[in-house]
């Protein structure tokens, strides 16, 4: 890792439209679903000997927290969960890629986007890229299932998505959760000498995940519809 090359930090700020105003996102159940403030120690100009240098670097990059324009018509809400929500302008509304893990973080991301860019247009499609829960669990924060049933919103996923989602999160759910806990040390307090991030993002959120089954399954490598 060329630590002297700081271009990542410069590029990380490109396209910023608005910072997320709230450090915490509350879950509907009353607990804290997302707590960005707990990672403020990464803003200090200090190298922590207890944190691997590469993890410290990516965790500092993960301090970006808000709405960004990638290119014209494509936006991202970053820093509200382990994954990032990507939003693309369609013909009659917005297409959402990978809608985070929790209803509450996805709802907050969508509200931030609508406040600054959304033009009041609806979600017309949601795309699940794969079966990991942080890419579909927030769908009920951005889509009403009644609109899906009324064919107002398309839910798009790759072939065998439901099979692998059930296998991973139900049949192997306990083992997957144990793996997650041991791999990242999630039971530790957030601290330079404890839990210090998951690399992809700071951590998974602690809200309410949900799932709406796909209405369109992509079978081939390239499809147009």
| pLDDT tier at 16, thresholds 50, 70, 90 | very high
Number of domains in the chain: 1
- Tell me if 154 is assigned to some domain: yes
pLDDT tens figures, 164-179 = 999 988 888 889 888 8
- Tell me if 175 is assigned to some domain: yes
CATH number at residue 110: 3.60.15.30
Domain containing 13 equals: 7-218
- Tell me if 43 is assigned to some domain: yes
Read off the tokens for 151: 């064919």
- Tell me if 223 is assigned to some domain: no
- Tell me if 2 is assigned to some domain: no
- Tell me if 202 is assigned to some domain: yes
Give me the DSSP letters along 57-89.
HHHHHTT--EEEEEETTEEEEESSSSS-EEEEE
Is the pLDDT at 180 greater than 90, yes or no? Answer: no
* Of the candidate ranges 6-15, 83-92, 135-144, the one whose mean pLDDT is the lowest: 6-15
- Tell me if 224 is assigned to some domain: no
Nearest to 1, CA basis, from 199, 190, 148:
199
pLDDT tens figures, 38-63 = 999 999 999 999 999 999 999 999 99
Is the pLDDT at 1 greater than 80, yes or no? Answer: no
């Amino acid at each position: 890792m060329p630590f002297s090359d700081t271009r990542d930090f410069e590029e990380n700020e490109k396209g910023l439209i608005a910072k997320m105003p709230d450090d915490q996102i509350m879950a509907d159940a009353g607990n804290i679903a997302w707590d960005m403030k707990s990672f403020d120690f990464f803003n200090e100009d200090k190298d922590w000997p207890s944190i691997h240098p590469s993890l410290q670097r990516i965790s500092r990059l993960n301090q970006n927290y808000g709405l960004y324009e990638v290119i014209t018509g494509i936006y991202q809400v970053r820093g509200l969960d382990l994954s990032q929500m990507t939003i693309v302008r369609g013909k009659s509304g917005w297409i959402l890629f990978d809608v985070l893990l929790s209803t509450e973080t996805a709802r907050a991301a969508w509200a931030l986007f609508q406040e600054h860019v959304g033009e009041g247009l609806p979600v017309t499609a949601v795309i699940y890229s794969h079966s990991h829960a942080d890419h579909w669990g927030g769908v009920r924060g951005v889509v009403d299932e009644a609109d899906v049933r009324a064919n107002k919103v398309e839910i798009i996923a790759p072939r065998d998505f439901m099979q692998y989602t059930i296998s991973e999160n139900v049949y192997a759910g306990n083992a997957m959760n144990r793996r997650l806990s041991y791999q990242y040390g999630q039971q530790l307090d957030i601290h330079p000498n404890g839990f210090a991030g998951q690399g992809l993002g700071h951590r998974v959120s602690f809200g309410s995940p949900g799932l709406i089954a796909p209405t369109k399954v992509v079978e081939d490598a390239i499809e147009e519809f």
